[in-house]
Chain A
Amino acid sequence: MRYLPHSDHERADMLSVIGVKTTADLFARVPKSALLTESVDLPGHSPEFLVEAHMQALAGRNHAAGDGPFFIGAGAYRHHVPASVDHLIQRSEWLTAYTPYQPEVSQGTLQMLFEFQTQVASLTGMDVANASMYDGSTATAEAVLMARRLTRRNRIVLSGGLHPHYRDVVRTYVGDGPDLVCLKASPEGQGDILNRIDAETAAIVVQTPDFYGHLRNLRAAADAAHAAGALLIVVVTEVVSLGLIEAPGALGADIVVCEGQSLGNALNYGGPYVGLMATRKEFIRQMPGRLCGETVDADGQRGFVLTLSTREQHIRREKATSNICTNAGLCALAFSIHLSLLGEAGLRKLARLNHANAVGLAQALSGVPGIRLLNRSFFNEMTIDVGQPAAPVIERLAARGILAGVPVSRLEPGDGHVGSLIVLAATELTTKADIAALTEALEEALQ
């Protein structure tokens, strides 16, 4: 077997050094009744070309985003990733390195994480960022728990513009009850949260651009939260927007969480992605997740280590800030490389390009009979009302090779008000031809 180095001869030699006759002797402590007497009922080992063929066949049954016009966003975005990003992250020293607990032989990973933390802090306008989380949705749930620890209050209010899946994840983490207020879906971008903050509120959670694409007024949300002694958690699912939209940190956010997939990472049917979390300096000790810090070595040379680890599960055990014991290392690396290739100049251009294409899309959609655009503001994503059940429309377009967006009913099946809504996104990869194909197909489908 190609991954197992021993010959039978070597196995026999090793057994004799151990002083047993057979491998079975090494499993002597396993209860007899639990030891399998024959092979598990699974196929036998397989050569590389056959495994590859099997996987290719499975992959071939999927319609890839690049196969035709594509407008799906809703928390995961198709962007161009420079070729050098994937080349670099496949280097052995990045791909097959362990968590940098031994800093003397992990300075590459550690310096990268320090750079990543700096980039995330800059992008969000916050004081500090951690070394990444699983994804944006779990980072949001962790931010909610962090806010509870910081304020010693329990009530959490979620804006109706928050991604419905993120809301569902928060609900799973904290449980239903009077301390979780989930405002109803606000596809028109209506301001829904300011008068829901009270003296029990630990935090309000506001997404911008929100799930329906609207840009939210963070300053007003921050002022209202702070006036009541609560915190403002800002969620950003499309980080490219931060090249054009004001940083949440500049508008009073206390904790910012993002889905970082847009930079460096493929769609991957939902994962692995990379969650970003940033906060104010004074809240560091309640922030979950790994942190990398600068220090010096025994010779006085600059170096980096994982630090403040007493917050974490392997030290605090049941008193840890979270049970998380990993980050999204390689995805954070991809994010960081992509962002350093962009730089400030590139990110600003990329954001403008996304927005310009979205403006083109919005204007084209507004011209389709039977379609109403719900957004007065957006970055690269918007919601339309097609005046009839949206899910079958999406299916009809998919049958023609056009992935036209997400019917909101797929995420909010219980809400009759959103049945005719579709959320669509444009990115730098969206062409005029794609938009023309979409509007033409929509016109036919809506007749």
Chain B
Amino acid sequence: MSMNTQGRPTGTGTTGFAAAGSSLLPSEPLLFEIGDTEHSGVDLPDVEIGGDYLAGCERQSPIDLAGLTEPEALRHYVRLSRLNYSIDSGMYPLGSCTMKHNPRLNEKTARLPGFADIHPLAPVSTVQGALALMDELAHWLMTLTNTAAVALTPKAGAHGEMCGMMAIRAAQDAAGEGHRKVVLVPESAHGTNPATAAALGYAVRSIPARDDGTVDVEAVKAALGPDVAAIMLTNPNTCGLFEPEVIEIAAAVHAAGAFFYCDGANFNAIMGVVRPGDLGIDAMHINLHKTFSTPHGGGGPGAGPVVLSAALAPFAPVPFVRKGELVEHAEGTHLGRITAFHGQMGMYVRALTYMMSHGGDGLAQAAKDAVLNANYVRARLGQVFSVPFPGQPVMHEALFDDSFLAGTGVSTLDFAKAMIDEGFHPMTMYFPLVVHGAMLIEPTESESKQTLDTFCDTMLGLAHDAKAGNAARFTAAPTRAPRRRLDETRAARSPVLKWERPAELPQAAE
């Protein structure tokens, strides 16, 4: 019999990668290049207006807003979305960002009309369920941190920092200690800490790190004085290390009449395992979008409730819920408002949903798994990658420096961009500032052993390639992403911050 060798080819054809502009990696025009001022995806009636109440303020100028019908809009935003990396499509080893899984139950509960469709100024009698939810969330946060109070309203971590530092300032003003104008900040701190202190009028005094990456209580004592208002300390710190002398630091800070602001960015490592209140903190913001799984949404919205010690509780901002009652106006020593309404209610619902799903036991297990995963990655990569502070376990993130790349012609940035070609999002780079060419990897508890092994194999393969002299694949990377490296100098030198109608395309005649 003769074999039929004709028909449909079943091989893969010539190999290659989806390039920008292909059907799977679309190159999408701008909204303004698709739509125009006449198209609309919303049907609305034309109406007569029964009187003149506009006092001559009616719009005379054109708006020039492009419109899309619904099918055009769906396609535009779906195609754009496909140019994004996301947690649901792969691992984000971003140190200090805690990119964990975002459970969809959270999204479902946040959209219940009883939460999503209630007005912040609705009569209090009609929103008792919302107040109860805020009370429950506060209870969970205070229990996990062993603190006396929590200010829920801050809109993001940096806003929470500002709120906590304002409470400290208010407490000191009330105690006649308003002359304290210095805030101590370790040099490994996130840039937001000094920015917050400066925004509130404090001078920043930097505390050097020890050779092992942690803060020396003696260095803190040496920097303390009658002019010091507070220390802003991240614990676990940005090198991924638990500060072993944190209790002594807290005691020294308090003995000097200052407060201990803890940056809670890394709370995921210790939730349910260590209560920051037991360490002596006075204020700590909790990034609900990191620790408690509310979505990052491509850069917000976040939420940054601040837990407060008994000493600071009387200075919490309004509004807050006390014994089931909504307090909306500053009384006594309470701070005023830091935002118009009650903060990020939509995030409260998501965070409480997440907490209840895990329970106290599950949160502790999640913290332990996050720490396990970071140590596993460090153990596997540490054979090849340079570990700046060896000889101690890390918490939820593993820090490497770039000394293993010395002489290869490959920088931390090049290495990170090559990870994109291998299907991973880059790790946090060049932060913290205390090591050269930092690579900070935080796998979170959401990654399986299988994913971690694939990640480690990939990273070791890249390191091998770099050391083998194949610098070109790194310096050219990425080549398999929707875009190659972008010219940031050009963007900054002559900023183009919005679309301008090209001169040869006049607006459609009215």
Contact = CB atoms under 8 A, between A and B. Distances in A.
Asked whether the complex places CB atoms of A and B closer than 8 A, the reply is yes
Nearest to B163: A172
B305 interface: no
A267 B73 contact: no
A108 B49 contact: no
A402 to B, nearest CB: 10
Contacts of B119: 65, 70, 72, 76, 78, 267, 269, 403
Contacts of A347: 63, 65
Contacts of A26: 368, 371-372, 375, 393, 395
Contact of A115 (B31, B358, B362): B31
A88 B60 CA distance: 33
Nearest to B189: A317
Given A19-B379, A295-B488, A134 B299 contact: no
Contact of B273 (A6, A27, A33): A27
A5 B366 CA distance: 10
Nearest to A322: B199
A201 interface: no
B346 to A, nearest CB: 5
Interface string B242-263: 1010110000000000000000
Contacts of B478: 104-105
Contact of A106 (B85, B118, B353): B85
A444 interface: no
B356 A270 contact: no
Contact of B298 (A84, A90, A109): A109
B302 interface: yes
A269 B118 contact: yes
B53 A314 contact: no
Contacts of A215: 54-55, 57
Nearest to A118: B498
Most buried by B among A6, A35, A58, A353: A58
Given A43-B359, A296-B487, A346-B42, A406 B121 contact: yes
27 contacts: A31-B247, A40-B275, A58-B114, A59-B114, A75-B340, A93-B89, A97-B86, A104-B478, A137-B340, A246-B58, A246-B61, A267-B119, A269-B342, A271-B339, A271-B342, A327-B299, A331-B301, A341-B68, A345-B40, A352-B47, A352-B49, A353-B44, A353-B45, A358-B53, A360-B50, A377-B54, A413-B329
A233 interface: no
Contacts of A18: 372, 375-376, 378-379, 393
A279 to B, nearest CB: 11
A96 B102 contact: yes
B414 interface: no
B53 A341 contact: no
Closest 10 CB pairs of A and B: A343-B67, A59-B114, A270-B341, A330-B297, A61-B129, A42-B360, A270-B120, A92-B88, A45-B359, A272-B301
A194 interface: no
B325 interface: no
A21 interface: no
Interface stretch (B5-13, B216-224, B441-449): B441-449
Interface in A167-219: 168-169, 171-173, 208, 215, 217
A54 B356 contact: yes
A93 B117 contact: no
B196 interface: yes
B138 interface: no
B272 A355 contact: no
Nearest to A55: B109
A340 B66 contact: yes
Interface stretch (A152-160, A221-229, A298-306, A434-442): A298-306
B17 interface: no
B357 interface: yes
Nearest to A122: B64
Interface stretch (B93-101, B306-314, B400-408, B460-468): B93-101
Given A296-B487, A359-B51, A346 B44 contact: yes
A151 interface: no
Contacts of B497: 114, 117, 128-129, 284, 291-294, 307
Contacts of B179: none
Given A111-B80, A269-B120, A247 B61 contact: yes
A11 B445 CA distance: 12
Contacts of A6: 369, 372, 448-449
Contact of B342 (A3, A104, A270, A328): A270
A326 B158 contact: yes
B211 interface: no
Interface residues of B, number: 201
B58 A244 contact: yes
Contacts of A317: 191, 194-195, 198, 204
A134 B99 contact: no
A443 interface: no
Contacts of B115: 55, 58-59, 62, 268-269
B67 to A, nearest CB: 1
Given A88-B77, A106-B85, A215-B55, A247 B488 contact: no
B123 interface: yes
Most buried by A among B50, B112, B274, B300: B300
B359 to A, nearest CB: 4
Interface in B410-447: 416-417, 420, 425-426, 431, 445-447
B301 A377 contact: no
A315 interface: yes
B499 A114 contact: yes
A31 B246 contact: yes
A27 B86 contact: no
Contacts of B16: none
B215 interface: no
Most buried by B among A4, A67, A97: A97
Given A40-B144, A308-B492, 6 more contacts: A11-B369, A26-B393, A28-B393, A56-B109, A104-B485, A293-B495
B482 interface: yes
A172 B129 contact: no
A398 B92 CA distance: 48
Nearest to A216: B57
A108 B495 contact: no
Nearest to B161: A323
B41 A342 contact: yes
A55 B107 CA distance: 12
B392 A29 contact: yes
A94 B298 contact: yes
Contacts of B278: 33-34
A379 B59 CA distance: 12
A102 B425 contact: yes
Given A31-B246, A359-B50, A96 B87 contact: yes
A328 B301 contact: yes
Contacts of B384: none
Most buried by B among A40, A57, A378: A40
A346 B299 contact: no
A331 B392 CA distance: 42
